[in-house]
């Protein structure tokens, strides 16, 4: 099996072309994402044909669960299409079918050089039942108190096609025990479909820092939907601007949201290497 390894701000993926063969994708994700016995990745990206877009993307976390959408992953998909020569020089936008719906990726060029990707991340969903969060009301839900394992959190809930809980802190995010608290938040009964968990801090006008515990993957270097959720939550809380730069362990992403429409995210994606998987491909 041929594969490509890519990363977007340190969030890394194994990509396979599912147009060429079929497999048990969840079982394959478990095998290839293992960092000791496999290739090592936060997730498996599967490229598939689409009847209503240029391409279809499925993403499986390293625990074999399927994610609805991934902002870093979709940029990596666009980079791979570019590297494969599947995008003409004149093409500016790639339309991608995801489990969360149709998403668009705009290629950011400097002359003939491809320097980044702007992703239309969709309109944030703030209704608790649609996120989903086991709370009544129409939303948005801001600063909801939740105590987990001795930690008092104040959470804002956002769906970017997948569910997020954002907590703002006054101390550096590196000091927060994310690896310990993250599993308690992800699996809390308040979240019927589990949840992604972000810790964020305002650094200054238009600048934030964040760390992410990804549902099904654990702590990752970056998360595009997570950064989008942080930008939305910050604006809703009155502590963020329409345009923000969010620093994550793997790098920075630029987010834009006017408070009404679609969130736009701009960031890099790079090909690390191509390879051949020598193991059995589960059917």
Catalytic positions: 70, 223
DSSP assignment of 60-106, as one string?
A: EETTSPEES--HHHHHHHHHHHHHTT-S-TT--EEEEEETTEEEEEE
Note the Cα 264 to chain centre separation in Å.
13
DSSP assignment of 104-134, as one string?
A: EEEEEEETTEEEEEEEE--PPB--GGGTT-S
Q: How far is CA 85 from CA 79, 80, 88, 149, 182, in A?
A: 10, 9, 7, 50, 40
DSSP assignment of 125-181, as one string?
A: B--GGGTT-S--SSS---SEEEEETTEEEEEEEEESSSEEEEEE-SS-GGGS-HHHH
CB-neighbour burial class of residue 163 (10 A; exposed 0-12, middle 13-18, buried 19+):
buried
Find out whether the peptide bond into 132 is cis, omega within 30 degrees of 0.
yes
């Amino acid at each position: 099996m041929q594969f490509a390894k890519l990363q977007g701000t340190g969030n890394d993926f194994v990509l396979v072309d599912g147009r060429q063969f079929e497999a048990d994708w969840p079982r394959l994700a478990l095998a290839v994402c293992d960092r000791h016995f496999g290739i090592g990745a936060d997730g498996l990206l599967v490229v598939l044909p689409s009847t209503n877009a240029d391409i279809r993307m499925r993403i499986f976390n390293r625990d074999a669960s399927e994610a609805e959408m991934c902002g870093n992953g979709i940029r990596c998909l666009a980079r791979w299409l570019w590297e494969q020569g599947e995008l003409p020089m004149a093409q500016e936008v790639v339309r991608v079918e995801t489990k969360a719906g149709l998403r668009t990726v705009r290629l950011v060029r400097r002359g003939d050089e491809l320097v980044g990707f702007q992703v239309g991340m969709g309109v944030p969903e703030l209704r608790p039942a649609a996120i989903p969060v086991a709370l009544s009301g129409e939303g948005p839900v801001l600063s909801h108190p939740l105590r987990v394992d001795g930690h008092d959190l104040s959470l804002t809930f956002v769906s970017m096609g997948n569910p997020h809980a954002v907590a703002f802190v006054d101390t550096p995010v590196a000091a927060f025990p994310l690896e310990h608290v993250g599993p308690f938040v992800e699996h809390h009964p308040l979240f019927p479909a589990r949840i992604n968990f972000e810790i964020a801090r305002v650094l200054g006008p238009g600048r934030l820092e964040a760390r992410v515990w990804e549902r099904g993957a654990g702590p990752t270097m970056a998360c595009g939907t997570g950064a989008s959720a942080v930008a939305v939550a910050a604006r809703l809380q009155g502590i963020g601007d329409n345009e923000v730069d969010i620093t994550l362990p793997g790098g920075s992403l630029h987010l834009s949201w006017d408070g009404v429409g679609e969130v736009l995210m701009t960031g890099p994606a790079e090909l690390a290497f191509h390879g051949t998987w020598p193991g059995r491909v589960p059917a």
